[in-house]
Amino acid sequence: MLDEEIPFTPPMTQVFDGFDLSSFWEDSQYAKENYVDAEPTPEVIGAVEKQLGYKLPAAYIQLARTQNGGFPKNTNHRTNEPTSWSEDHIAITGIYSIGSSKLYSLCGETFNSQFWEEEWGYPAIGVYFADCPSAGHDMIALDYRKCGPEGEPEVVHVDQEDDYRITKVAGSFEDFIRGLESDDAFREDESEIERILRENDLGAIRKLIGSGVDLEVTDEYDRTIIENAAIQNRPEIIQLLAEAGASLRSALEIAEKNLQFFPEHEASVKVLRSLTENNDG
């Protein structure tokens, strides 16, 4: 919930010059229900900034005036360093609305910016404004450490999977938005297992299992296929892998942690609990 509203001074900076925002957003019913808020008034913007303790970038405010939060059509941004997501880029799910009424609002009652610091232990470096496909295991933030609370923050990726490692993504919010690219720009470097999990391709996972692939192979973060399936909430793939003899390892623990904050992960938890009980029986 927002504190008492205070006046907001409109920024004078020209942003997104020559950049077409009219086709930026994906039309998503889920986003409309959980991310997209009404266009923020000056009073709402002022109240959000007061509660967060940071001045929001002019580009963030301008973007919110086209649509206040939601899913971008392009969801990937290049990086100069590898992260838990990829060797050369990060991916986002949605951008938080400036307000307090939605599940994914900067000052909402549930997955607000401060939630990630208080509940997940993310570092207090600024404003967490975009979530990622990992369901909380990495986040995108406005980093005010260099510029101070009134300055122009950098955009960074914070990697919970790697001891909250911070990687610079863009020099400003506007640069971040301008730099977003489609999935097609990166799929040539995507492994087959990553593609299967992203697309929830049951036919392909059956073929992969039938080919005799090592189900216990781990990625650079020591996660097996079934653990990554738990992170991405793929209950059918979890079931198929377990039936083929894959060890559950910490998949249930991962799914249960995600369920604390993401109700849609209940399906994976149910499957993994059933498999665990059968293994113990």
Neighbours of 215 (CB within 10 A): 16
* Percentage of the chain modeled with pLDDT above 70: 94
Q: What is the pLDDT of residue 32?
A: 96
- Residues 87, 10: Cα–Cα separation, whole Å: 39
Name residues whose C-beta falls within 8 Å of residue 237's C-beta, 6 or more positions apart in sequence.
Answer: 196, 197, 200, 202, 205, 226, 229
- In 3D, which of 201, 203, 197 has the Cα closest to residue 226? 197
The total number of residues shown for the chain amounts to: 281
Q: How far apart are the first and last CA of the chain?
A: 47
Q: What is the pLDDT of residue 167?
A: 97
The 10s digit of each residue's pLDDT in 187-206 is 766 788 988 998 899 999 99
* Percentage of the chain modeled with pLDDT above 90: 78
Q: What is the pLDDT of residue 23?
A: 93
- Residues 140, 96: Cα–Cα separation, whole Å: 11
pLDDT band at 158 (very low <50, low <70, confident <90, very high): very high
The 10s digit of each residue's pLDDT in 38-56 is 999 999 999 999 999 999 9
Segment of 86-90, 113-117, 141-145 carrying the highest mean pLDDT: 141-145
Domains and their CATH numbers in the chain:
29-184 (3.40.1580.10), 191-280 (1.25.40.20)
pLDDT band at 103 (very low <50, low <70, confident <90, very high): very high
- The pLDDT of 13-37, averaged and rounded, is 92
pLDDT band at 185 (very low <50, low <70, confident <90, very high): confident
Q: Phi/psi of residue 77, each to 5°?
A: -140, 135
Q: What is the pLDDT of residue 261?
A: 77
Longest CA–CA span in the chain (Å) reads 67
Give, to the nearest 10 degrees, the angle between helix 235-243 and helix 266-280: 20
Q: What is the pLDDT of residue 7?
A: 52
The two structure tokens encoding residue 53: 């303790």
C-alpha triplet 108, 109, 111: angle, nearest 5°: 70
Q: Does residue 26 have a pLDDT over 60?
A: yes
- The pLDDT of 226-239, averaged and rounded, is 96
- Residues 95, 115: Cα–Cα separation, whole Å: 15
Q: What is the pLDDT of residue 148?
A: 98
- Residues 20, 22: Cα–Cα separation, whole Å: 6
Q: What is the pTM of this model?
A: 0.72
Buried b / exposed e over 162-184, threshold 16 CB at 10 Å, is: beeebbebbebbbebbebbeeee
pLDDT band at 219 (very low <50, low <70, confident <90, very high): confident
Q: Does residue 272 have a pLDDT over 90?
A: yes
pLDDT band at 163 (very low <50, low <70, confident <90, very high): very high
Q: What is the pLDDT of residue 124?
A: 97
| CB 180 within 8 Å of CB 74 | yes
Q: Does residue 134 have a pLDDT over 90?
A: no
- The pLDDT of 226-234, averaged and rounded, is 95
Q: What is the pLDDT of residue 2?
A: 62
Tokens 């899913």: give the residue. 71
- Residues 184, 192: Cα–Cα separation, whole Å: 15
Q: Cα dihedral angle (128, 132, 135, 139), rounded to 10 degrees? A: -30
Catalogue the long-range contacts made by 23-26 (C-beta closer than 8 Å, 24 or more residues apart).
Answer: 23/73, 24/63, 24/66, 24/67, 24/72, 24/73, 24/177, 25/66, 25/67, 25/70, 25/71, 25/72, 25/73, 26/70, 26/71, 26/72, 26/73
Q: What is the pLDDT of residue 255?
A: 93
Q: Does residue 9 have a pLDDT over 90?
A: no
Q: What is the pLDDT of residue 188?
A: 64
Q: What is the pLDDT of residue 41?
A: 97
